[in-house]
Amino acid sequence: MRFKFATIEVKDIEKSFKFYTDVLDLSLVRRFSPREGVEIIFLEDRQGNQLELIEEEDVKNYIEARASKVQLGYEVESLEKTMRFLASQSIEIVGGPVDIQTGRFITIEDPDGVRIGLFEENK
């Protein structure tokens, strides 16, 4: 068995698409609408891991009423360079930087409040 993708229900798929492609450098795999009121985008990182974004008109109020319990984690080459890039994009760092035994990390949030850990491993 191998991991295929994670799914995030979003309020504004265009805003989320821009965040994940511009900030996390994910690439578009496919975009489609399986039925009226539903839009799906699959994104992929350089290693082939996929993220599915779903915007569904019927669940927007439900999404807004709950806080996300999902956290994604990505490894970056340079946390300093990443923090400068995030500042240039006006992306707030909501946690860290925190030093841990194997490296250090920061936490940001996507437009829907999904927490994203960005980790630099000790070299």
> Quick one: pLDDT at residue 11?
87
**Bigger pLDDT: 56 or 1?**
56
> Quick one: pLDDT at residue 85?
97
Tell whether the model's pLDDT for residue 62 goes beyond 80: no
Q: Token pair of 121, please?
A: 């491993």
Domains of the chain: 1-66 (3.10.180.10), 67-123 (3.10.180.10)
Neighbour tally for 63: CB within 10 Å: 17
DSSP characters for 104-122?
Answer: EEEEEE-TT--EEEEEEE-
Q: Rounded to whole angstroms, how far apart are CA atoms 109 and 95?
A: 10
Burial of 35 (0-12, 13-18, 19+ CB in 10 A): exposed
> Quick one: pLDDT at residue 70?
74
Mean pLDDT of 85-98: 96
Tell whether the model's pLDDT for residue 35 goes beyond 90: no
Mean pLDDT of 61-81: 77
DSSP characters for 29-89?
Answer: EEEE-SSTTEEEEEEE-TTS-EEEEEEEGGGHHHHHHS----EEEEE-S-HHHHHHHHHHT
Mean pLDDT of 9-32: 96
Mean of the per-residue pLDDT values for the chain?
89
> Quick one: pLDDT at residue 64?
59
